[in-house]
């Protein structure tokens, strides 16, 4: 797909999660943000309600879009879905690394022929999960061990990086190299409610730990002034963001 594993895209590390109910709310929020200061994420709820049209509208507004649908299916189905995402022109797309080697190989192959392939990222362990969740599913590994196993599988399959908690970033950086992109949700500013997230860090902590991209939702979108909240986050990490 790319000659350099884990290619990174210059610009702000912040990806604002537009986890809202419909296109109108997403576009209204995006209109208050500056595409020079952040990218945006379109997830399952918004995409299911609004479809590809909302992605195209956000792109026309100047935003690079992370299509966060976490594809996890048989190899052929995932490959076809990724081709469709590439046709939309999205900047980043993801698949569940737990889909296994054949699915990951099919994902990479599907994007190889694309003129402008999106970054292809593997999801390791959701940041809403902790050790008790893994144990209930029958895994004997710790969260850190499982994340490392899935990240190294992802890297060996040729994907561009992984979604992980920033808490796991130092170990993944050592194992997968400097070029491997680390995308970290579970970001909360000091004092914010962690809600359903378990493995959370602040923006500054995430960057200091080695994260490349920070997916930030409620700390911006639930703020009375999203623009001020975004600017405060960028100011917080600006001293640590240069890598």
Residues contributing to the annotated binding site: 19, 41, 68-77, 127, 188, 197, 217-218
Annotated catalytic residue 68:
yes
Q: Which of 146, 182, 143, 188 is nearest to 166 (CA)?
A: 182
State the catalytic residue, choosing from 34, 44, 73, 212: 73
> What count of Cα atoms within 13 Å lies in the side-chain half-sphere of residue 137?
13
Task: State how far the Cα of 165 lies from the Cα of 125, in Å rounded to an integer.
Answer: 8
State the catalytic residue, choosing from 34, 68, 105, 192: 68
Q: Which residues contact 19 (CB under 8 A, 6 or more apart)?
A: 41, 43, 45, 46, 217, 221
C-beta of residue 95 within 8 angstroms of C-beta of residue 71? yes
Binding residue positions for substrate: 19, 41, 68-77, 127, 188, 197, 217-218
Residue 27 burial (10 A CB sphere; 0-12, 13-18, 19+): middle
State the catalytic residue, choosing from 34, 44, 70, 87: 70
Phi/psi at 71 (nearest 5 deg)?
-60, 135
Annotated catalytic residue 70:
yes
Annotated catalytic residue 130:
no
Active site members: 68, 70, 73
């Amino acid at each position: 797909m790319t000659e350099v594993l884990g290619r990174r895209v210059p610009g702000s590390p912040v990806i604002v999660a537009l986890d809202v109910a419909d296109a109108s709310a997403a576009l209204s929020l995006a209109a208050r943000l500056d595409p020079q200061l952040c990218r945006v994420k379109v997830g399952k709820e918004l995409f299911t309600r609004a479809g590809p049209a909302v992605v195209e509208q956000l792109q026309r507004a100047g935003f690079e879009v992370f299509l966060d649908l976490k594809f996890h299916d048989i190899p052929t189905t995932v490959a076809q879905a990724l081709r469709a995402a590439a046709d939309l022109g999205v900047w980043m797309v993801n698949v569940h690394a737990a889909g296994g080697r054949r699915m990951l190989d099919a994902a990479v192959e599907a994007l190889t022929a694309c003129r402008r392939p999106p970054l292809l990222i593997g999801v390791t362990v959701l940041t809403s999960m902790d050790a008790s969740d893994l144990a209930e599913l029958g895994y004997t590994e710790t969260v850190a061990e499982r994340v490392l196993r899935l990240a190294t599988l992802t890297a060996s399959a040729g994907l561009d990086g992984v979604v992980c908690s920033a808490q796991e970033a130092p170990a993944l950086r050592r194992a997968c190299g400097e070029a491997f992109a680390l995308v970290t949700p579970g970001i909360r500013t000091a004092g914010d409610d962690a809600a359903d997230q378990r493995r959370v860090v602040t923006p500054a902590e995430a960057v200091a730990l080695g994260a490349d991209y920070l997916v930030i939702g409620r700390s911006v979108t639930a703020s009375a002034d999203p623009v001020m909240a975004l600017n405060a986050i960028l100011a917080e990490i600006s001293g640590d963001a240069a890598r």
